[in-house]
Amino acid sequence: MVWWRASSADIDVNPDLASERAAPSFCVESLTNLLDGSVEKTRVRRYVVSTILKDPVFSKENHYFKTRQERYEGAIRNSFHLKQKIKELGWREDGPEGEVIYRAMGGELALNIHGVFIKSILALGTDEQVAKWIPLANNCNILGTYAQTELGHGTYLRGLETTATFDISTQEFIINTPQISATKWWPGDLGKTCTHAVVLAHLIIKEKNYGMHPFIVQVRSLKDHSPMPGITVGDIGPKMCFEQIDNGFLMMRNICVPKENMLSRYSEVLPDGTYVKRGSDKINYFTMVAVRVSMLRAEVLEALMKACTISIRYSAVRRQSELKPGDREPKILEYQTQQQKLLPLLATCYAIHFTTCHVNKVYDEVYGAIQAGNFDSLPELHALVSGIKAYATEICSNGIEVCRKACGGHGYSLFSGLPSLYTKVTASCTYEGENTVLHLQAARFLIKCYAAARSGQSLPHSVAYLSSPISGACQASSHTHFLNPDVYIKAYQHRAYRLIDSAAFKMRNLVQSGMEQYAAWNSTSVELVKASIAHTHYIIVKLFADVLDSLSSFPEIQKVLKSLCDLHALHGIFTNSGDFLQDGHLSGKQLEMLTEAYLGLLSLIRRDAVLLVDAFDYADQQLLSALGSYDGNVYYNLLECAQKNPDNKKVNAVFENYLKPHLQSNISKL
Amino acid sequence: MVWWRASSADIDVNPDLASERAAPSFCVESLTNLLDGSVEKTRVRRYVVSTILKDPVFSKENHYFKTRQERYEGAIRNSFHLKQKIKELGWREDGPEGEVIYRAMGGELALNIHGVFIKSILALGTDEQVAKWIPLANNCNILGTYAQTELGHGTYLRGLETTATFDISTQEFIINTPQISATKWWPGDLGKTCTHAVVLAHLIIKEKNYGMHPFIVQVRSLKDHSPMPGITVGDIGPKMCFEQIDNGFLMMRNICVPKENMLSRYSEVLPDGTYVKRGSDKINYFTMVAVRVSMLRAEVLEALMKACTISIRYSAVRRQSELKPGDREPKILEYQTQQQKLLPLLATCYAIHFTTCHVNKVYDEVYGAIQAGNFDSLPELHALVSGIKAYATEICSNGIEVCRKACGGHGYSLFSGLPSLYTKVTASCTYEGENTVLHLQAARFLIKCYAAARSGQSLPHSVAYLSSPISGACQASSHTHFLNPDVYIKAYQHRAYRLIDSAAFKMRNLVQSGMEQYAAWNSTSVELVKASIAHTHYIIVKLFADVLDSLSSFPEIQKVLKSLCDLHALHGIFTNSGDFLQDGHLSGKQLEMLTEAYLGLLSLIRRDAVLLVDAFDYADQQLLSALGSYDGNVYYNLLECAQKNPDNKKVNAVFENYLKPHLQSNISKL
């Protein structure tokens, strides 16, 4: 069935896919419930998804044929319609429906940064400011964005150039982007939509710079939507994906905003120009973590799960070449090389899923503590989330490309759904913290903890292993030993420990030999990134294994997840073997055994592969893929997609304008 | 300067980029000549490039704002205009200008498969067929395509389903695509343009299948371009890139073509249905190799060179964060992690460049031998090219993404030029032989040679090392020893030997334990792919080092290329260290030394990095990048690009249709 058909009633499942589902070794529905969190959560998710998918306003029938402008208009239309619908149905964005809605919409929404605008006023505004602006924003009487990043400045806030200079005589701030590189750049909803912005700018009072502060600035007229005087605003142009989002630029020339427009929960300017700081804004730091946590499941993992669903179903119906001489062309999923591409990624989906569950749990705990005024666990949470965000976005986006290429030529067609999964998710390697920067932040925490442990301090839970001495060599003496989580968890822990230890050692030596601290850090940064990756990988492997222990009442599911956990761990060692061999934790001989165990898992999991993606429970209309539909009628779907191409129904102007004179000049010879 | 400006006369080079060029350690122009092959070749290339770039018909001013249909029409227009221009200027497509033209056009051409149509008639047609069809095709009185791949069938020719059944009574072939999966799918120029196709189909005579044969089929009317009776033809829809190409589908229902339309140089059907085979069609096999050789430089390496140019220039002008406390934000190229991303890729450009030079040389030799009737070297050439095609396409496309992400958020804008470099070149991992399939073909050759060596036969040059016993442990005892090509070449050779040996050993064991040959092959295929990669990597490292020896009359260039060669080799060991550690060829201690040498090379090459990409000598209009222009005025360029966006000049219908009612319902509160 192609995704724009609401019903598949009269279409048979491709026998090649039906046979994969004929004798399941576990109950797929139970696994779906486990992934959702409960039977009830599965019910709610399906209810929300089906309610959204059957609404004709949200139809994606011509999705891959739309222009950028059509995508943008559709996203605006969807956003207003969804708000209305949520109100009518009594759904709560912070309730059980909330987290599912965005996933069900598949990102075809605008006004996302309007939400950030609202949140930043709630977080940074005084009670009066909240009372003034929030009702207007909630009713969309104003539409906002959050303008921080500049053309010449990204992650490093202190580098921003926009200024807000306080004029005591008028009690106004005068906001300026002093040169081209100060142009605000990237904010979503800014390009063509919003009327207001929370602008981050250096606060200047009497020529003294008080650092970055947030100001509400009107950018467009509410009457005719034209830019306000002194404002230059527009769309930054086409991107690799996100056609529906109007990322924008904003230049401000002597824009005067009243004193009340500085969001002043944490700091205020008095009429005489006195600057007053109030309380701690550590909570901002927490907000950044919150965004990273929420994107992990809803944007990053989601994309890899869809890509695995599409590519594994396709690999079970695509037949190609010859394996056994004389036999029918086999399913490409029978090839070990195809299994090696897709099945470790399937295992990665599960690994990252359980990791995000854990991160959400820790996040909730830390949030609770923070509300009680205790910020102690924030650095650990920040480091954990930094490492996992960087690790997961990298592995998921690279993984989607592996899935796409594993579908051969058809993976290159937009109809496969795979190109846009990639071009969208790869942005997450950069936004909300560039991955290398995040790994280095996580590494800074690891190095700090390592030093603390050396001086006898106790360490937070996730890094507690740095307190004990490094473990000895691996004791495995047959390939089956590598199917023991204790063995591989220890290997990952050993690797992380050694890389952290070795980076710390190198830095200390460089400093002792006279290098300045900052230069020693930079000279070690390649190794520090490696250390952060190794630590994160260890955390993920361990969390997956911990989940297995909790599943004893679902033995079939426990069994298949155990194999996935093993596969994920052994694949990681197989592909990063140098890290485990370098100091002899593993011997060459042991790596051979591990390879045997790893390759054995591929053929084991191959049997359940289709069921393991079925358990992700995506409707065809969510996958938007001619290759990944539940019924597996891929060639029929591709052809139907192609025939719907509006270009195929138009007269081709090229014939009249270019071809005809050539084609008809010698027609008698034919 | 942005790329649509023909002159940069009045624009200053960004001082951050000027300073990189202030004190070159080598003559950039000489290096450019070396890359081109000679001073004269540089001259010709510049003449062709500038002639093309200054032609207003070929202007790319609004490149990133064009729709798919506009790109297609532009490519058709370009193609006809270019043919005319080539004729007028007396350029020869097989002459010195030829190879440069396509690169200068940056792929914005259609009718590429019309060229394949012509070549296949020349190669497979009889003299009469050539005499009939070639003049028509050369004059574009007919426009052809080459239709082989089907919806359900790719690389494996025997799996194709289209049939051509000989009807003795009418002396015609009746051509059919018997079911959906037999639909011809992908041929370029088929979707909206061509009138004829060389169709690959199973030849059936008196119910006997004689295998795949080529037939000329008319698909559209020359009068009005409508599909011929029985033909269903159209465009297959949007892809990840190649918007300008109308890849198409073709269904044929009882299409009758005269007997003369079977291309019959190598086999013929007599009027009574007798099938006659003539001579060998090994030359076809060679044609496939020829296509792979030609794409390496013109499509694959070209893209990585451009990506390195863009990202390295940008990294020399982008300033971000803080390195030394209190100092100005440093150029991001000062960060070791940024160097680690970009500089090994820069080295890879040079490594692959010299590899393609070598491959071209071998190709010419083999072609000469084949013309003299000697096909002996074809299997070696085929294996060599298979491995290098798979290796280079993978490393170049992955590398471009590294370059893109290394440019942060701006790399995600189409204006950076990087997204389309990637989305285009990644297709090369699949077309002209899927990479895993190619590595397995190369591995089959390696395993065969390995066995031949065991039985005392002598081996072709590129695999001769399989005849000698495997080398012993590496003797390096300080980090400087790793700057000796003999040391790392030996390491790469050792690794390739061991992986081939170990795959052969595993297969033999599996067969001896009772597994069938095909199953043993499949069970070893992950390791066989690794072996092919290792062999190819060894060849590339060795070829680069060989080039150094020939450069003694250019000592400065020899010196900088030596560092690049070292970097390429050591980076490969650093990132694949397990392969070198596993059997103890390197010890963990040696790997530490190697890491030190490797990191040292990063800061060494960083000094010349901008000059080393300048030497690639791309005009701004070829890079199509706001980030990569020679003058480095990146923020100015980005802003100018955004302001040219036609969307920014249109009235936004969304305001009237969606926003206005909300924005104006509460306007009094503001």
pLDDT of residue B258: 97
The residues, ordered by sequence, that sit 6+ positions from A268 with a Cβ below 8 Å of its Cβ are A126, A262, A275, A276, A278
Q: How confident is the model at residue A484 (pLDDT cuts 50, 70, 90)?
A: very high
Of A158, A413, A659, the CB nearest to B239: A413
Specify whether A432 is catalytic: yes
pLDDT of residue A609: 98
Closest CA to A338 of A370, A315, A306, A369: A315
pLDDT of residue A7: 59
| Residue pair A257/A216 in contact by the 8 Å Cβ criterion | yes
**Are the beta carbons of A635 and B180 separated by less than 8 Å?**
yes
Average pLDDT score over residue span B206-234: 97
- SS3 of B444-459: HHHHHHHHHHHCCCCC
- Domain spans of chain B, in order of start: 29-109, 144-278, 287-459+476-645
Give B401's contacts in chain A (Cβ within 8 Å): 426
The alpha-carbon gap from A192 to the nearest alpha carbon of chain B, in Å, equals 7
pLDDT of residue A435: 97
List alpha helices for B125-229, DSSP H: 127-138
Angle between helices A378-406 and A418-425 (to 10 degrees): 150
**Residue predicted with more confidence, A200 or A155:** A200
Please give the sequence-ordered ranges of beta strands (E in DSSP) within A125-230, or none if there are none.
144-147, 163-167, 172-176, 184-185, 196-205, 208-218
B552 in A contact zone (CB under 8 Å): no
Residue B533 has pLDDT above 60, yes or no: yes
The residues, ordered by sequence, that sit 6+ positions from B320 with a Cβ below 8 Å of its Cβ are A153, A154, A155, A156, A159, B329, B330, B332, B408
pLDDT of residue A4: 66
* Residues B305, B308, B314, B317, Cα dihedral to 10°: -100
The alpha-carbon gap from B380 to the nearest alpha carbon of chain A, in Å, equals 23
Give B158's contacts in chain A (Cβ within 8 Å): 322
Residue B44 CB neighbour total at 10 angstroms: 18
The alpha-carbon gap from A354 to the nearest alpha carbon of chain B, in Å, equals 27
Give A524's contacts in chain B (Cβ within 8 Å): 336
| Residue pair A254/A228 in contact by the 8 Å Cβ criterion | no
CA distances for B655 relative to A73, A244, B252, B661, angstroms: 10, 15, 49, 9
Q: What is the pLDDT of residues A249-305, one digit of tens each?
A: 999 999 999 999 999 999 999 999 999 998 777 777 788 899 999 999 889 999 999
Q: What is the pLDDT of residues B145-200, one digit of tens each?
A: 999 999 999 878 889 999 999 999 999 999 999 999 999 999 999 999 999 999 99
Question: Using CB atoms and an 8 Å cut-off, which of residues 220-279 of chain A contact chain B?
Answer: 222-225, 234-240, 249
**Residue predicted with more confidence, A36 or A8:** A36
pLDDT of residue A402: 98
Average pLDDT score over residue span B305-322: 97
Residues in chain A: 670
Q: How confident is the model at residue A350 (pLDDT cuts 50, 70, 90)?
A: very high
Side chain identity at residue A264, one-letter code: S
State the architecture of A287-459+476-645 in CATH terms. Up-down Bundle (1.20)
pLDDT of residue B471: 86
Q: Residue A12 corresponds to which tokens in the numbers above?
A: 């048979």
Residue A454 has pLDDT above 90, yes or no: yes
pLDDT of residue B450: 97
Q: Which of A70, A73, A401, A432 is catalytic?
A: A432
Q: What is the pLDDT of residues A524-573, one digit of tens each?
A: 999 999 999 999 999 999 999 999 999 999 999 999 999 999 999 999 99
Give the chain B residue nearest A650 (alpha carbons).
Answer: B192
Q: What is the mean pLDDT of chain B?
A: 95
Under DSSP, the state recorded for B61 is T
pLDDT of residue B3: 67
Q: What is the DSSP string of A579-611?
A: HHHTTSSS-HHHHHHHHHHHHHHHHHHHTTHHH
Q: What is the pLDDT of residues B40-85, one digit of tens each?
A: 999 999 999 999 999 999 999 999 999 999 999 999 999 999 999 9
CA distances for A111 relative to A77, A146, A191, A421, B344, angstroms: 10, 11, 11, 21, 41
The residues, ordered by sequence, that sit 6+ positions from A542 with a Cβ below 8 Å of its Cβ are A489, A492, A493
SS3 state of residue B661 = helix
Please give the sequence-ordered ranges of beta strands (E in DSSP) within B117-241, or none if there are none.
144-147, 163-167, 172-176, 184-185, 196-205, 208-218, 231-235
Q: What is the pLDDT of residues B568-583, one digit of tens each?
A: 999 999 999 999 999 9
Closest CA to B351 of B404, B306, B388: B388
Q: Residue B108 corresponds to which tokens in the numbers above?
A: 């914005």
Sheet arrangement for strand A184-185: A184-185, A248-252, A231-235
Side chain identity at residue B273, one-letter code: G
Residue B10 has pLDDT above 70, yes or no: no
Q: What is the pLDDT of residues A565-596, one digit of tens each?
A: 999 999 999 999 999 999 999 999 999 999 99
B538 in A contact zone (CB under 8 Å): no
Options 1.10.10.10, 3.40.50.300, 1.10.540.10, 3.10.450.50; CATH for B29-109 is 1.10.540.10
Q: What is the pLDDT of residues B78-110, one digit of tens each?
A: 999 999 999 999 998 788 888 899 889 998 999
Closest CA to A108 of A229, A307, A244: A244
| Residue pair B190/B248 in contact by the 8 Å Cβ criterion | yes
CA distances for A179 relative to A150, A162, A230, B473, B639, angstroms: 11, 9, 14, 59, 12
- Class for the domain spanning B144-278: mainly beta
The residues, ordered by sequence, that sit 6+ positions from B91 with a Cβ below 8 Å of its Cβ are B48, B85, B97, B98, B101
Closest CA to A331 of A341, A342, A346, A317: A317
ipTM: 0.97
Residue A478 has pLDDT above 90, yes or no: yes
**Are the beta carbons of A577 and B578 separated by less than 8 Å?**
yes
Roughly how many angstroms between the first and final C-alpha of chain A, as a whole number? 43
pLDDT of residue A9: 56
Spatial distance between the Cα atoms of A637 and B181, rounded to a whole number of angstroms: 11
